[in-house]
Amino acid sequence: MDEEILRQRGLKVTEARMKILEILSDQHAHLSADQIASMLEKSGFSSVSLATVYRVLTQFHEAGLIHKHQFEDGASVYELADDDHHDHIVCERCGKIEEFFDAKIEKSQERVARELGYALKGHTMVLYGICSLCAGKEDR
Q: What is the mean pLDDT of residues 106-135?
A: 94
Report the CATH number at residue 125.
3.30.1490.190
Q: How confident is the model at residue 29 (pLDDT cuts 50, 70, 90)?
A: confident
Q: How confident is the model at residue 135 (pLDDT cuts 50, 70, 90)?
A: very high
Does residue 32 sit in the same domain as residue 94? no
Does residue 112 sit in the same domain as residue 45? no
Does residue 23 sit in the same domain as residue 69? yes
Report the CATH number at residue 23.
1.10.10.10
Does residue 128 sit in the same domain as residue 72? no
Does residue 73 sit in the same domain as residue 30? yes
For the chain, the average pLDDT equals 90
Residue 53 has pLDDT above 90, yes or no: yes
Which pLDDT value is given to residue 136?
Answer: 85
Q: Are 101 and 49 in contact (CB under 8 A)?
A: no
**Number of domains composing the chain:** 2
Quote the domain boundaries for residue 33: 3-80
